């Protein structure tokens, strides 16, 4: 028996989201039913609603920054109980047997992880995300939200938090390292907080200086506008690590010029168009250009515990579900401070 659940969905590509009802599967032996309290709006939701990355599945209930409370558990569930505060991020399943799944890197599963929405689940049904009042998820893809974190400010950690934490850790951001974060939106502002908490010297590279005061308050040591060509001269050869969170194509050659020899530019932004690069910008200083996708389940739990320990939550603008379409326009205009979070009680 499926259960009807109130949700917000895009009925077709580029169409405004509207209230609807979806069916959630029966709570299986290893499933938890979560009463969703808050869902963050990630720029990836917008790319997919607009089919910017290719064909999507409609109707689509986006949302992969989910925070809520467990309201039912299947008989085989061992890790969660009714009343637990939990989160769900970008994945709800994977093969569980490949080398990456075994290593806790489910996001790189050779069969492809089952994404929280805009995917087909193992039951053959389309998956639906967090812009809804309830979700049923296998307990292995659910994480615990520590008591010290408010659920609304924790929701964006489930994608934006882990997507910045994972590469910052992998590329050793920490004391003595100069780290630049490009783009101070949803991902970027958490990247600043996390890199600062890891002990790195943090620089924000934003299109303008409009958000400079905020950036410095969030933990940045320096803040520069990329619209000013002098920035690229002044900062040439400065950074050990650059994390780009930009949702649009960038001139990566110009940013590689800001790295020290042996520095790395790690891109997590997922623009809809390809970029071109003169490879001499890598050869010169033995530089690395890398990518990174979200983070595994174990690492997501580690990130949440780290954020609780350091008092890190997202800077949010809490909205009603009826404001989602307006929020999308503001994200597209880089007018977000710094994550829209939907109060799912308003659905
Ligand atoms: P967001 O809140 O819109 O932030 C992106 C920021 O990039 C903007 O706030 C803006 O910062 C900057 N920006 C936007 N357009 C720009 C342009 N034309 N030139 C230079 N800078 C520009 O988006 P988000 O939710 O953080 O997501 C960012 C990107 O990461 C998206 O493409 C998303 O799909 C992707 N993503 C990837 C992963 C992954 O696993 N790799 C996970 C989640 C999201 P300033 O105003 O400071 O310049
Ligand atoms: Zn996301
Ligand atoms: Zn796998």
- Burial label for 231, CB within 10 Å (0-12, 13-18, 19+), is middle
* Cα separation, 226 vs 1, whole angstroms: 54
- Nearest ligand, measured from the Cα of 140: 3
Atom of ligand 1 nearest to the CA of 41: 25
Ligand 1 neighbour 140 (Cβ under 6 A): no
Domains of the chain with CATH codes: 3-158+314-346 (3.90.180.10), 161-291 (3.40.50.720)
The pLDDT, as a whole number, for residue 113 is 98
Quick one: tokens of 162?
């882990």
DSSP three-state, residue 319 = strand
Nearest Cα residue to atom 31 of ligand 1: 247
Ligand 1 neighbour 185 (Cβ under 6 A): yes
Atom of ligand 1 nearest to the CA of 42: 25
Ligand 1 neighbour 334 (Cβ under 6 A): yes
> Which residues have a Cβ under 8 Å from the Cβ of 279 and sit 6 or more positions away?
none
* Cα separation, 243 vs 181, whole angstroms: 5
* Cα separation, 218 vs 214, whole angstroms: 6
Quick one: tokens of 39?
């869902």
Query: What long-range pairs does 231-237 form, CB within 8 A, spacing at least 24?
Result: 231/205, 232/257, 232/258, 235/180, 235/203, 237/261, 237/285
Ligand 1 neighbour 215 (Cβ under 6 A): no
Ligand 1 neighbour 270 (Cβ under 6 A): yes
Angle at 15 between CA 14 and CA 19, to 5 degrees: 135
Helix (H) or strand (E) holding 241: strand 239-244
Nearest Cα residue to atom 12 of ligand 1: 183
Please list the rounded mean pLDDT of every run of 10 residues in the chain (347 residues): 96 98 98 98 98 98 99 98 98 98 98 98 96 98 98 99 99 98 98 99 98 98 98 98 98 98 98 97 97 98 98 98 98 96 98
Backbone angles phi, psi at 41, to 5 degrees: -105, 110
> Which residues have a Cβ under 8 Å from the Cβ of 129 and sit 6 or more positions away?
39, 45, 61, 62, 63, 64, 66, 116, 117, 118, 135
* Cα separation, 308 vs 85, whole angstroms: 13
The pLDDT, as a whole number, for residue 1 is 85
Ligand 2 centre to CA of 285 (Å) is 32
The pLDDT, as a whole number, for residue 230 is 97
Ligand 1 neighbour 267 (Cβ under 6 A): no
Instruction: Answer yes or no: are the C-beta atoms of 153 and 316 closer than 8 Å.
Output: yes
Instruction: Answer yes or no: are the C-beta atoms of 270 and 249 closer than 8 Å.
Output: no
DSSP three-state, residue 180 = strand
| CA atoms within 13 A of residue 196's CA, in its CB half-sphere | 21
Q: What is the DSSP letter of 26?
A: P
Ligand 1 neighbour 339 (Cβ under 6 A): no
| CA atoms within 13 A of residue 128's CA, in its CB half-sphere | 26
Ligand 1 neighbour 49 (Cβ under 6 A): no
* Cα separation, 214 vs 193, whole angstroms: 11
Ligand 3 centre to CA of 135 (Å) is 22
The separation between the first and the last C-alpha atoms of the chain, rounded to the nearest angstrom, is: 23
Helices (H) and strands (E) in the chain, counts: 11, 17
Ligand 1 neighbour 245 (Cβ under 6 A): yes
Distance, C-alpha 312 to centroid of its chain: 15
Quick one: tokens of 41?
């709006």
Question: Is this structure's pTM higher than 0.95?
Answer: yes
The pLDDT, as a whole number, for residue 105 is 98
Distance, C-alpha 264 to centroid of its chain: 21
The pLDDT, as a whole number, for residue 285 is 96
Nearest Cα residue to atom 15 of ligand 1: 248
- Nearest ligand, measured from the Cα of 111: 3
Instruction: Answer yes or no: are the C-beta atoms of 259 and 290 closer than 8 Å.
Output: no
Angle at 128 between CA 123 and CA 129, to 5 degrees: 135
| Cα radius of gyration rounded to whole Å, the chain | 20
Instruction: Answer yes or no: are the C-beta atoms of 332 and 185 closer than 8 Å.
Output: no
Ligand 1 neighbour 189 (Cβ under 6 A): no
């Amino acid at each position: 028996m499926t259960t009807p659940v109130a949700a917000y969905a895009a009925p077709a590509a580029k169409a405004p989201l509207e209230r609807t009802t979806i069916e959630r599967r029966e709570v299986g032996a290893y499933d938890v039913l979560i009463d969703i309290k808050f869902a963050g709006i990630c720029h990836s939701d917008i790319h997919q609603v607009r089919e910017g990355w290719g064909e999507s599945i409609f109707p689509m209930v986006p949302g992969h920054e989910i925070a809520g409370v467990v309201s039912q558990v299947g008989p085989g569930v061992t890790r969660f109980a009714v009343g637990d505060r939990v989160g769900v991020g970008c994945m709800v399943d994977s093969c569980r047997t490949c080398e990456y799944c075994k290593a806790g890197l489910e996001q790189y599963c050779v069969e492809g992880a089952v994404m929280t929405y805009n995917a087909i689940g193992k039951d053959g049904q389309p998956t639906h995300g967090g812009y809804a009042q309830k979700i049923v998820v296998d307990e292995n893809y659910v994480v615990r939200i520590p008591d010290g974190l408010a659920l609304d400010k924790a929701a964006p950690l489930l994608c934006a938090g882990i997507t910045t934490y994972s590469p910052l850790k992998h590329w050793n951001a920490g004391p003595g390292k100069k780290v630049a974060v490009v783009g101070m939106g949803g991902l970027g502002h958490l990247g600043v907080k996390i890199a600062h908490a890891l002990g790195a010297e943090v620089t924000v590279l934003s299109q303008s200086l409009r958000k400079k005061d905020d950036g410095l308050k969030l933990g940045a040591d320096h803040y520069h506008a990329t619209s000013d060509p002098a920035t690229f001269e002044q900062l040439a050869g400065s950074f050990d690590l650059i994390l780009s969170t930009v949702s649009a194509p960038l001139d990566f050659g110009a940013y590689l010029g800001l790295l020290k020899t042996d520095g790395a530019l790690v891109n997590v932004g997922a623009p809809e168009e390809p970029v071109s690069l003169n490879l001499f910008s890598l050869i010169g200083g033995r530089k690395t250009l890398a990518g990174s996708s979200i983070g595994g389940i174990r690492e997501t739990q580690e990130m949440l515990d780290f954020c609780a320990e350091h008092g890190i939550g997202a800077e949010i603008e809490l909205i009603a579900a009826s404001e989602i379409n307006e929020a999308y326009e503001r994200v597209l205009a880089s007018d977000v401070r710094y994550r829209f979070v939907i109060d799912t009680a308003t659905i």
